[in-house]
Amino acid sequence: MLKFVKGSLEQIDGVQIYPIISLLIFFVFFTLLFWWVLTAKKEHIRKVSNLPLEEDDNSLNTTS
């Protein structure tokens, strides 16, 4: 199976740039995500982490 895929890809001009672009996108995304986590305000993190635990007033007043 790998020979079939590798053989097809070898015939595409400039195909060697795609893994490099993928690696750069991966690296930039996770670097930015890491930077955001380090600089995020602790109060915002605490507020967002408690959202699933809060009761919604609209869901308590629904009639079926």
d(CA 60, CA 43): 27
Mean pLDDT of 33-58: 86
Is the pLDDT score of 9 beyond 90?
no
pTM above 0.85, yes or no: no
d(CA 35, CA 44): 15
Mean pLDDT of 42-46: 89
Give 55's DSSP letter.
P
pLDDT at 62: 57
Q: Could you identify the residue written with the tokens 């308590």?
A: 60
pLDDT band for position 14 (cuts 50, 70, 90):
confident
